[in-house]
Structure 1
Amino acid sequence: MENEGRFAPLLASLATVALAAIVLLSPSGAGGQQIPDQVSAQALRVCADPANMPFSSQSGAGFELEIAGIVADELKLPVRTYFMPQGPGYVRNTLGKRLCDVIIGYAAGADPVLHTNPYYRSVYALVVKKGGPLDGVDRLADPRLKGRRLGLMAATPPADHLLELGLLPSARTYSLLVDRRFDSPAEEMLADLAAGEIDGALLWGPTAGYFAARAGTPLKVVPLIHEAERPALAYRITMGVRHTDHEWKQVLNRILLTRAADIEKVLLAYGVPLLDEDDRLVTAAAGSKAP
């Protein structure tokens, strides 16, 4: 996924690891839930990328930082964010060096961290022009995609599906490993879609939903919920902590359960395609499920 990056296949997207800065994002508060000894009791210390919208940004925008605020509110603590571009050594140089105590978004099953319970599940999406020739396509096996030029991030799971369906030769790939402070392949892909240089764009759901809503051309985001199971296109996203921080994981799990409705509201506001465990889309209507 683009931020595909930290989602197993997926998401971590920045090749250059820059110097990080600690930024205070919210005021201090009274002590809340009991904080395990191995993590800071003065603030919720969050690891984040400084230029990775819609997930996080140095300005404090991004749904992961908003969710960090929800967790901090439950803990009655301020948020302090340690910013470092995602790339090789990200976990080692953030959590591993105890410069922060949690990564807000991490693909379930990825080894570098101990995972909390998932707090959302999303899926790759096909983005097409509203009213265009591909409006109405809801799966990659649709015959209307034959011969079409689809954009996708290099080395991400949709590539395997396109290969299986004979759609890869006509596809255009975009770089995954870039420094997002200077390049935005997802926005470039959608600009190419608007210009007619490609016919559809395959992006990790949160990225697709966020940037499609901000494109100058009306675009439609189609979550790919009808595809073959391998390789997976849907992923559960957790919070990541150090492998030794079992008590801290349980504190976060309790907060994720208590504040699930608030977290879901933030995700939907950012256009994240949310799936329940039956692969049904969760809509903004009070967490209702689309048929």
Structure 2
Amino acid sequence: MRFRAIDAAMRGLRLKFAGLAILACAAAALGAPAEGRGETGVGGGLLRVCADPDNMPFSNAEGEGFENKLAELIAAKLDLPLEYVWFPEGTGYVPNTVGADACDLVMGYAQGTGLIEDTNPYYHTSYVLIYRADNAELAGMDRLSDPRMKNQRIGLFAGTPPASILAMYGLVANAKPFELRSGESSSKVAEAMIAEIASGELDAGLLWGPVGGYYAQRSPKPLTLVPLVKERAGPSTIYGITMGVRPNQPEWKHKINKVIADNQQDINTLLQSYNVPLMDKDGGLIEFGAAER
């Protein structure tokens, strides 16, 4: 679960299911530059970033998320003060109430949606399968087509790619669906699934990689985290994540792409510090941290 509304085809990436309507809001917030803004994409000598104030591990108002840290890195490299435009994801990640020209960057955005300009991907990641490290029955499982998945009690989010794959294999009868209710923090729902896996109420769970990695690492019981990079049927489970920028500002986009390219190793190190499973565009794991605690 990505837990961010980025595209109808990627519902659940962050417990967000608003889809194309929010993409339209993003396009508005990152719309044509206001008069006098100029090509740099920076208003008033600031780097303005749209972010959720309560959506760990991505961002929060205290600046503890990895997207907060990445925004700080970009601002430092561009020698610009950083300013946030806070807006809860549950009501539409990029605020249509703020209007056009709300911010210069949306920090996490799926590559290739077509409704907003995006940078080059700064990381690729996948959905993950999570189960207790002491669950001998599932030891070594690395794909959802494994026959051992039959009769397992699995936590999932309806409409997400791994849920669709489970359905293809006839494995949803024993699944437990999780939903994000209005006003509820997405991180709390992720923690709830992790808690049920740790307690044994669930045998396994399916989460968006950055969220699963972050909360599994904090579980009181050791959990195994398996990136779903070996699926050969159904929708893709691997996605490139970019930053959203305003259209028709090629120099600004180029500037952000250069920051990404020049600092890719530091970005990888930052993401790994949050236990984000990283991979190349073909699904090969990149120095993924310890899968088991």
Matched, 1:79 2:62: no
Q: How far did 1:153 drift?
A: 1.6
Matched, 1:174 2:162: no
Instruction: Give the residue type in structure 2 aligned to 1:10.
Output: G
1:100 counterpart SS class: coil
Give the counterpart of 1:144 among 129, 144, 148: 148
| Structure-1 residue corresponding to 2:199 | 195
Counting aligned pairs with the same residue, the percent is 42
| Structure-1 residue corresponding to 2:259 | 255
Matched, 1:244 2:258: no
Does structure 2 conserve the Cα–Cα contact (< 8 Å) formed by 1:2 and 1:176?
no
Measured against aligned partners, the alpha-carbon deviations of 1:124-148 in whole angstroms (never above 9, x if no partner) come to 0000000213222111111111111
Matches within 5 A, 1:1-150: 1-6=1-6, 8-11=10-13, 13=15, 36-87=39-90, 89-91=92-94, 93=96, 96-132=99-135, 133-150=137-154
Does structure 2 conserve the Cα–Cα contact (< 8 Å) formed by 1:47 and 1:95?
no
Does structure 2 conserve the Cα–Cα contact (< 8 Å) formed by 1:15 and 1:88?
no
Q: How far did 1:247 drift?
A: 2.3
Distance in 2 between the 1:76 and 1:47 partners? 19
The worse-fitting range, judged by mean Cα deviation, of 94-103 and 265-274 is 94-103
1:184 counterpart SS class: helix
Does structure 1 conserve the Cα–Cα contact (< 8 Å) formed by 2:5 and 2:93?
no
Distance in 2 between the 1:284 and 1:139 partners? 17
Measured against aligned partners, the alpha-carbon deviations of 1:102-157 in whole angstroms (never above 9, x if no partner) come to 00100112234200000000000000000213222111111111111110122211
Instruction: Give the residue type in structure 1 aligned to 2:203.
Output: D
Measured against aligned partners, the alpha-carbon deviations of 1:142-199 in whole angstroms (never above 9, x if no partner) come to 1111111110122211111000111111111101455354862111111111122110
C-alpha spacing 1:117/1:180, structure 2 compared with 1 (3 Å): farther
Matched, 1:233 2:241: no
Does structure 1 conserve the Cα–Cα contact (< 8 Å) formed by 2:56 and 2:187?
no
2:205 counterpart SS class: strand
Does structure 1 conserve the Cα–Cα contact (< 8 Å) formed by 2:197 and 2:204?
yes
Give the counterpart of 1:268 among 259, 269, 272: 272
Unaligned runs of 5+ in 2: 19-37
Does structure 1 conserve the Cα–Cα contact (< 8 Å) formed by 2:12 and 2:157?
no
1:267 counterpart SS class: helix
Does structure 1 conserve the Cα–Cα contact (< 8 Å) formed by 2:14 and 2:208?
no
Measured against aligned partners, the alpha-carbon deviations of 1:198-223 in whole angstroms (never above 9, x if no partner) come to 10010000001000000111111000
Does structure 2 conserve the Cα–Cα contact (< 8 Å) formed by 1:153 and 1:176?
no
Instruction: Give the residue type in structure 2 aligned to 1:64.
Output: E
Distance in 1 between the 2:207 and 2:288 partners? 21
TM-score (norm 2): 0.84
Unaligned runs of 5+ in 1: 17-34, 286-291
C-alpha spacing 1:72/1:277, structure 2 compared with 1 (3 Å): same
Matched, 1:222 2:222: no
Instruction: Give the residue type in structure 1 aligned to 2:107.
Output: I
Q: How far did 1:77 drift?
A: 1.1
Structure number with the higher strand fraction is 1
| Structure-2 residue corresponding to 1:19 | none
2:39 counterpart SS class: coil
TM-score (norm 1): 0.84
Matched, 1:210 2:214: yes
1:282 counterpart SS class: coil
